[in-house]
Amino acid sequence: MTTKRRKILYAASTASHLRRFHMPYIERLRAENDVFLMGTAGEGIDFPIDFAKSFFSLSNLRAIRKIRKLLKRERFDRVIVNTTLAAFLIRAAMIGMKRRPYVLNVVHGYLFSESDRGLKAKILLQCEKILRKKTDTIAVMNEEDLRIARAHRLCRGEVIFMRGMGIPQYTVPQTRDDSLYRTYAPADSDVLCVFVGELSARKNQAFLIRAIARLREEKLPVRLLLLGEGSAREALETQIREAGLEDSVFLAGNREPILPYLSLADVYVSASTIEGLPFNIMEAMACGLPIVMSDVKGQHDLKSADDEAILYPLADMDAFCAAVKEACGRARLGIGACAYPQLEQYRLPSVLEENLSILLRGENHENQA
């Protein structure tokens, strides 16, 4: 007997997010289903949507209308939403629809925490509450988000824990590129800190730059390489220039492949204010780097009792600087010298089949209001 192929919409706010984290799943799903991709325009995107960063911009209202028409026309059996913005707009487009597809919201990190009492956090939580009737299942990637989703009953059905989308089996460089290293750390005594991520307030590169200035005032020969692009670039460039750190802090933009650059680090640093389950930290672990990271959800989840990572209280400059100094003592051990045995449970082969079963959860669901 031939099984009916399901029609699945797989969505995220950017095409790059789908390419980087989801292609193994999309390829497997396509073996037995008709899978269509939605995101910003890019290679492989079937339904391009111009998602604006600001939730309530007029262009997002137009995007909601476009998505609503598309959902009515295409009559998908299942919609898998990823990233906060795409998840919000796609589910908002379903409000008032008489019949809608089954919706799985894969939460890569709520942009609010249990302790956040700010207005933005309250608005984002309220949006999730409003949209819970358009959400059949939620999959989360850290313990705090699991508590949030269950405590506030943010979906009609199950809230499921998943161990991220899976870090690939990288071939980690066994040696670093010394000529490339000297581009950013020319002196033998230099200590090179590296961070990979979108240039944004949430990733908090501004804190890292302030910390580098302080550490250099304290005569630690530390330099900082920031990889990534984002809306905060101009502000960070101004901060670097005004602090006189042009020869110590480098905005290198996006780099592919990333591992040769990541492997330059003597210490990997993160000042993120909030995370889901950060891929960049797992990549740093795969390279065996000493890690100094803010004690926030997602990053906290990746820390084990006996590994080489150091957690410090968010925005605590004294604690961060002390942690970097401590990590410098481990920095010359060489690539792969630091052990992160917990990383094995997050590798793609370990999570692939389990995650596929989550993506297909509720298989017998019938379209509903």
Average pLDDT estimate for 313-336? 83
pLDDT of residue 1: 45
For the stretch 17-52, pLDDT in tens is 999 999 999 999 999 999 999 999 988 999 999 998
pLDDT at residue 73 tops 90: yes
Task: Give the per-residue pLDDT at 333.
Answer: 47
Q: Where are the domains of the chain?
A: 6-166+349-359, 178-346
Q: At what angle do helices 205-217 and 233-242 cross, to 10 degrees?
A: 10
Its pTM stands at 0.93
* Token couple for 44: 């492989």
Same fold, 6-166+349-359 and 178-346: yes
Three-state DSSP state, 229: coil
**In 3D, which of 226, 211, 351, 344 has the Cα closest to residue 285?**
344
Structural domain 178-346, CATH architecture: 3-Layer(aba) Sandwich (3.40)
* Superfamily of segment(s) 6-166+349-359: Glycogen Phosphorylase B; (3.40.50.2000)
Q: Is the peptide bond before 257 cis (omega within 30 degrees of 0)?
A: yes
* pLDDT over threshold 80, residue 91: yes
pLDDT, tens digit, for every residue of 209-262? 999 999 999 999 999 999 999 999 999 999 999 999 999 999 999 998 898 999
| Centroid of chain to Cα 181 | 26
What is the rounded average pLDDT of the residues 163-168?
Answer: 95
